[in-house]
Chains A and B, each alone.
Chain A
């Protein structure tokens, strides 16, 4: 069971469960930037939600299946065709041996997930198969795929139970993101910074990758402290360097940061960050820990009811 990458596109990596529990060594999580879409793609073909899949950035991707296999697509809706015929997202699709799957550029979102029955077979490093290119860890040779790469698949689960995904669970793509944000330790309630954070509309800049997304907006009334000690940061942390342009951290983010923290995106919304494009508008909604926790638990219940209790998000 192998497939050959004919056109790798801008950045295609193998991503699976994140490399958690190692941040105290400086090891970032990695894993799919839009973890929910990746989990759903795996689930519809009966894989475990954290099976190794391909994360494709901005489409423009082509792959040939050397043997017949089942696959599913989720995430940014890059128009897809299998030997010229259209391919639906969120459905199991059977490809014949020798068939070619082509993705064009998506009109919205950033990352499309291609899950394959049995998952991609790559070795794990520190408990995770996910690719972290800056340190050449995990995935296929620790790097983004290039044209001509050949990947092997694992054995499909014998009693594969394909999950049907309730419509409400599909990630809704937008060019205007309203993200729930816990106010950070460097934002005082009632301050001008607090007001700006929750009323202004920011815009994602071109400095966007798996480490973080830079956003810009009005000049923030943030104190500048060039010598503050570095503190732990996580995917979802929003921090602001002295130039006043905040960064929202993503899955490959560093584990510590030395800039004031404006807040933390609620866990229930974190997977959406993987689909924010340069130019998209970003607005923050203030949320309390209790409200955010209730929203997370409710979403997890919806997933569980659909047979997806182990979905990553």
Chain B
């Protein structure tokens, strides 16, 4: 397993650069069991590692990380979960659909068609409980200049070539093009998360 540089971000925090989201997940699984490591957060091209500064320094944790990544066999392949999410596009459910279409020089119907046309991959979870970062869209959409203070739960956003689903109501900086009625996070279930890294998602347009 290969990785790039390890950067010190704080006295208890380093960041490992990796090739892609799948590599980040594999690296994270190797590191998570170490007792001096408090948090391992795999992202799209990096893995953040927070550790106990009383037990390790950035330099000593870098040595441990390099050793843990380079030893051990390949993880067994997992079954891929595929989920279709019903989405109401535009209107109150997707207040930024028209602005996104205008930015991209597309009709709103074309935005919806592209968004629903393919299986998207869950690259990582993050932001709030159950929020999934999906990849696979053929465009690049800018974030909102100022984050909204309130976005409804289930809102489907787009940013860069990604899509994301707001699992909770709250602030958010991604333009919102629609909303799903399925719960991404349900504390009464075990596990409480609908999606996981590696899941594949397809959006399906439904009438409001």
Contact = CB atoms under 8 A, between A and B. Distances in A.
A137 B127 CA distance: 16
Interface band, chain B: 35 or more
Interface string A215-243: 00000000000111111101010000111
Contacts of A196: none
Contact of A135 (B48, B54, B128): B128
B11 A254 contact: no
B95 interface: no
Contact of B173 (A134, A258, A265): A258
Contact of A232 (B48, B57, B131, B143): B48
Interface residues of A, number: 48
A296 B50 CA distance: 15
A110 interface: no
A259 B171 CA distance: 14
Interface string A126-145: 00000000111100001000
B142 A226 contact: yes
B76 interface: no
A241 B125 contact: no
Interface string B125-167: 1111111010000001111011100000000000110100001
Interface stretch (A22-30, A53-61, A63-71, A154-162): A22-30
Given A24-B126, A231-B48, A297-B54, A137 B38 contact: no
B10 A24 contact: no
A241 B167 CA distance: 21
Interface of A: 20-21, 23-28, 125, 134-137, 142, 182, 184-185, 211, 226-232, 234, 236, 241-243, 254-259, 261, 264-267, 289-290, 292-293, 296-297, 300
